Amino acid sequence: MAVKESNFQGPFLLGFVAGMTAGAAAVYFLATDRGKDFVDDMNELWEEARPELVKQGVIQDTEASLGESVKTLLIQAFAQKAHELTATKKRIRKPNTQFRGV
């Protein structure tokens, strides 16, 4: 009978691919003319949308840039998820339904 070994390369490979993807996106957005145009367009759209987002309560800081606001929203979302995952949940005991004999 063969012993099944755990595969420790999975998480590393996933992180490596995610890092490569993030690096490629950064190069595209920061080094190419099309990427710079895209970033400029997004910043213009952000300036138009920001007052409405503040009015709706989605963001609080009226002077925050697009990057700062996205960073804040991501931090809040991750903090909330981390809290949900680490919060202790009350265990509900199931009734004992085992056979106890005659």
Q: Domain tally for the chain?
A: 1
State the DSSP H helix or E strand holding residue 34, giving kind and residue range, or none if neither. helix 33-56
Whether 1 is covered by a domain: the verdict is no
**Measured at the alpha carbon of residue 20, what is the angle toward residues 69 and 86, in degrees to the nearest 5?**
55
Whether 40 is covered by a domain: the verdict is yes
Among residues 40, 64, 45, 39, the alpha carbon closest in space to that of 54 is found at: 64
Whether 34 is covered by a domain: the verdict is yes
Q: List the domain range (segments joined by +) for residue 75.
A: 21-86
Whether 65 is covered by a domain: the verdict is yes
pLDDT digits (tens, 9 = 90+) for 66-96: 888 888 888 988 898 888 888 766 667 777 7
Whether 94 is covered by a domain: the verdict is no
Quick one: pLDDT at residue 90?
A: 66
| CA 10 to chain CA mean position, Å | 19
Whether 38 is covered by a domain: the verdict is yes
pLDDT digits (tens, 9 = 90+) for 2-59: 555 555 677 888 888 999 999 999 888 888 999 889 889 999 999 999 899 889 988 8
Quick one: pLDDT at residue 14?
A: 85
DSSP 32: S
Q: What is the pTM of this model?
A: 0.52
Please classify residue 72 by burial: count the beta carbons closer than 10 Å to its beta carbon, then call 0-12 exposed, 13-18 middle and 19+ buried. Answer: middle
Whether 80 is covered by a domain: the verdict is yes
Whether 41 is covered by a domain: the verdict is yes
